[in-house]
Chain A
C-alpha cells in the first residue's frame, strides 16, 4: 500500500501521457492529467508557503539566532498573501461590474498587490540576480587560469564574446571595411561566427545528450526499475 500504490500511480500517469501523444482518442486524457499536474504544482506552492511559516514560527517561538528576521519574513508573507487572496483594492471587472471586486484582476495596475510586487518583489529579485554579476566576475578572476588548451579556449571565447557584443569591440576593428573580403575578422562578426558555428555545435550535442539521458531516466522510472523517489523507509 505504502510503496506499491504510488509506484502504480507513477506508472499509470506516465504511460497516459505517452499514450495520449500517439493515440488521438486519448488526447483528452493527457490534457486532463496535464491539468492535474499543474494543479498539484500549484498546491506545492501552498505546501512551500506552509512550510516557510512552520519553520519561521518555530524559529520565533524558540527565539533562535536571527528570530527577528523571521518575524519580518512571516509578516511580509502574511501581508502579501492577505492582499493577494482577498483582491484588496482591486477594481471590478468592466465586463461584469455587478460582481464587485472579486471578478477583477488580482494583479491590476494600482492595486496593493501590484504595489507590493512593483515596490518590493521586483526590485529585490532584480537586484539579487544583478549581484551575481559581481560574484561571477570575482569567481572567474580567482578560478580561471589559462593553464591548458581547454581553459585557454574557454577564456578566449568568453573574452571575444564579451568584447564583440559591446561598443568597444565594434570600435576596435572598425578599420576593417564592412564590404571587404576581410569583414569576417571584425570582432562583432567573429562573435557571430563563434555563436553560430562552434557554440551551436556544442549546444546541439548537449541537447541530444540531455534528451537521451532524460528519456532513459524516464523509462527507468516508468518501468519501475528506478524507485528511489519512493524513499527508503516505510515512514
Chain B
C-alpha cells in the first residue's frame, strides 16, 4: 500500500471511529429520524354490491364497529415527519416514535453525498457507484412519474375508463367516456418504442415527426405571444418619468438606458447589414450590454450552485451529524 493510501485509510478509520462513538455513546446520538404515526381505520357499512366505507370515528353510534368482520375493515398508519425536539416534548403515550427506516435513509443519503463530493479529490470507485446508482434511480423515477401522472389518467383512462376507475383511479367520474381517438397516441407510442428494435428504424419517425410538429406549433405561438410581444410591450416605458409632478431623474435615466440597451443588442443580432460605421458602433454597445447580462447570469449561476452546496453541507452537519441546529428542531443540542 502506498504512503498516500495509508494516510487516507488512517483518516477514514479515525473518522469512522468518531462517527461510531458519536452515534453510539452520546446521550442523544445522531442521524435519528422520528415520525408521527396517526392510525386510520375505515369500516364498510354497505354490502357486496354497494360498499359504503366510513371512517371509524364517523360511524353512526348505533353501529357496533367491533362486530364488523375483518374483511370489511381497513386500517393503516399515516406518517408525518417529526423530529427529536417534538419527540422529547411529547406527552406520555404520544404517537411520535423513532423510525429506523428513515434513520437508515439519512445515513445512506449522507454517505452518497460524501461519495459524490469525493470526486473533488479525484475519480474513484465510490463516486462511480454513486453515479451508477443515480443513473438507474433517476431513469426509473421519471418512468414511474410519467406512468402514474400521464399514461394512466390520460391514455389508459381515456381508452378504458371503467378499468382505470376500478383499478387505480376510483375518483374518475362516472361520466368519463371511452375515447377511441386516443388509440392514435397509443399506436404512435408503440411506434416510438420500436426504436429499441434493431430493425425498422423508420417506424419511429412517425411519432418523432408528430412530436416535432406539435412542439413547433406550440412554440411558434407561445414564443411570439409570451416572449416577443410581451417583451416589446414591457419595453414601452416613458422616457420622461415624473413622480408627484416632479421629474424623476433616476427612473428616467433607467428607462433611457433600458431602451438604448435593447435596441443596441437587437442591432447586434441583426446580420442583414454589415456591422460597420454607426451600425458597428451600436452593435459594439449591444455587445457590452450582453456582456453585463452574461456576467449577471454567471454570478447567479454560481450563487445558485453555492446555495445548493450549502444545503448539502447543512444536511450533513444538521440532519446527519447533529452538530448544528439552525431551526432548533432538536432543542439546540
A residues whose Cβ falls under 8 Å from a Cβ of B: 2-3, 5-7, 9-18, 21, 32-52, 54, 66, 69-70, 72-81, 84-85, 91-99, 102-103, 106, 109-110, 113, 115-134, 136-137, 140, 149-151, 153-159, 161-162, 165, 184, 193-212, 214-215, 217-219, 221-222, 229-231, 234-235
Contacts and interface: CB of A to CB of B under 8 A. Distances in A.
Given A98-B53, A162-B299, A6 B205 contact: yes
Interface of B: 35, 40, 42, 44, 51, 53, 55, 74, 76-81, 101-102, 104-106, 108-110, 112-113, 116-117, 119-120, 128-151, 154-155, 167-171, 181-182, 184-186, 188-189, 192-193, 195-196, 201-202, 205-221, 223-224, 227-228, 231-232, 234-235, 250, 254, 257-258, 260-262, 265-266, 268-269, 286-303, 305-306, 308-309, 311-312, 315
B186 to A, nearest CB: 8
B104 to A, nearest CB: 8
Contacts of A209: 266, 269
Contact of A97 (B42, B260, B288, B308): B42
A202 B290 contact: yes
Nearest to B225: A21
A200 B258 contact: yes
| Overall SS of chain A's interface | helix
Contact of A103 (B80, B104, B169, B205): B169
A76 B133 contact: yes
A6 B209 contact: yes
B137 A76 contact: yes
A201 B265 contact: yes
B214 A33 contact: yes
B249 to A, nearest CB: 11
A230 to B, nearest CB: 6
B220 A222 contact: yes
Given A103-B168, A110-B79, A121 B137 contact: yes
Contact of A12 (B185, B213, B254, B262): B213
Q: Looking at B119, B139, B186, B298, which has the most chain A CB atoms within 10 Å of its CB?
A: B139
A184 B250 contact: yes
| Overall SS of chain B's interface | helix
A211 B228 contact: yes
Contacts of B201: 235
Contacts of A118: 105, 109
Contacts of B136: 52, 72-78, 80
Contact of B266 (A3, A92, A205, A219): A205
17 contacts: A18-B217, A39-B150, A42-B146, A47-B193, A85-B144, A98-B44, A102-B167, A119-B105, A121-B137, A165-B299, A202-B289, A204-B258, A205-B266, A208-B266, A219-B220, A229-B209, A231-B205
B218 A131 contact: no
A126 B294 contact: no
Nearest to B310: A130
Nearest to B209: A6
Contact of A123 (B112, B189, B294): B112
Contact of B192 (A44, A66, A230): A44
A217 B220 CA distance: 9
A70 B269 CA distance: 46
Contact of B216 (A72, A75, A121, A221): A221
B253 to A, nearest CB: 9
A201 B237 CA distance: 12
B293 A52 contact: no
A117 B55 CA distance: 30
Contact of A49 (B143, B215, B269): B143
Q: Looking at B258, B266, B288, B291, which has the most chain A CB atoms within 10 Å of its CB?
A: B291
